Chains A and B, each alone.
Chain A
Amino acid sequence: NAGVTQTPKFRVLKTGQSMTLLCAQDMNHEYMYWYRQDPGMGLRLIHYSVGEGTTAKGEVPDGYNVSRLKKQNFLLGLESAAPSQTSVYFCASSQLWGISYNEQFFGPGTRLTVL
């Protein structure tokens, strides 16, 4: 199993350009998440999904859109990139085990720079 993979690993954009980050998981997990991490800070939740065809906003959703057309994929889109979106983006997935246990599995991250 590859676990959680993210494409691309690195990307440099100019202000105003658009792009899509792809997250894929092969663990048949229902739940998927997109986080961003700025230097010296913890991760902040952008959007998440509790199942195929569903999405919801997290802490910092502005400037991003997401789609979950297939259970195994979760796409994060930037329609018009801004320098403030320079960050490392992490995707994660999880599955419900009982009522409490919820280990999130994280991808390796995408390092995005917006000039």
Chain B
Amino acid sequence: DAKTTQPTSMDCAEGRAANLPCNHSTISGNEYVYWYRQIHSQGPQYIIHGLKNNETNEMASLIITEDRKSSTLILPHATLRDTAVYYCIVRLPFSSNTGKLIFGQGTTLQVKP
């Protein structure tokens, strides 16, 4: 699975959009980009995933560059409850690796009032 690089920490003002970048320059054509977050030592929580196209769900949007070497997770209106560690994970299709997730150190997002 491709390695990812994320900033160690970021701040965001409450109510503003939080844009979390992730570099995955060695990603291969059939690898997906997944985002999870972990709030205050709870178990990680799935946010969103994508392959090539931009994706949006009720929690966030995922923007993947055309060359797929980087992506950005967007929380459109950050709240204090979005303060968490955000993990960007790149991995093969489920059928190729039994669903294993390789976690890096992630980005600690601090949402401030």
Expressed in whole angstroms, the Cα–Cα distance for A43 and B102 within the complex equals 8
Expressed in whole angstroms, the Cα–Cα distance for A108 and B45 within the complex equals 11
Considering only residues 57-114 of chain A, those with a C-beta below 8 Å from chain B are 58-59, 88, 90, 92, 94, 96, 99-109
Expressed in whole angstroms, the Cα–Cα distance for A88 and B105 within the complex equals 15
Expressed in whole angstroms, the Cα–Cα distance for A58 and B106 within the complex equals 20
Neighbouring A residues of B87 by C-beta, 8 Å: 42
Contact present for B98 and A41 (CB under 8 Å) = no
Which A residue's beta carbon lies closest to that of B91? Answer: A102
Which A residue's beta carbon lies closest to that of B44? Answer: A106
Expressed in whole angstroms, the Cα–Cα distance for A41 and B46 within the complex equals 18
Contact present for A103 and B46 (CB under 8 Å) = yes
Considering only residues 16-48 of chain B, those with a C-beta below 8 Å from chain A are 32, 36, 41-46
Neighbouring A residues of B42 by C-beta, 8 Å: 106, 108-109
A24 CB-CB contact with B under 8 Å: no
B10 CB-CB contact with A under 8 Å: no
- Count residues of chain B with CB under 8 A from any CB of chain A: 23
Neighbouring B residues of A48 by C-beta, 8 Å: 98-100
For B103, give its contact among A44, A99, A101 (CB under 8 Å).
A44
Expressed in whole angstroms, the Cα–Cα distance for A90 and B101 within the complex equals 13
Contact present for B43 and A102 (CB under 8 Å) = no
Known interface pairs A96-B99, A102-B99, A109-B43; 13 further A-B residue pairs with C-beta atoms within 8 A, sorted by A's residue number: A31-B99, A35-B103, A43-B103, A48-B98, A58-B100, A96-B94, A99-B95, A100-B93, A104-B36, A106-B42, A107-B43, A108-B42, A108-B43
Q: List chain B positions with a Cβ less than 8 A from chain A.
A: 32, 36, 41-46, 49, 51, 87, 93-95, 98-106
Question: Please, could you name 17 A-B residue pairs with CB atoms under 8 Å apart, sorted by A?
Answer: A41-B105, A42-B103, A42-B104, A45-B100, A45-B101, A90-B43, A92-B44, A96-B99, A100-B32, A100-B51, A100-B93, A100-B94, A103-B46, A104-B44, A104-B101, A107-B43, A109-B43
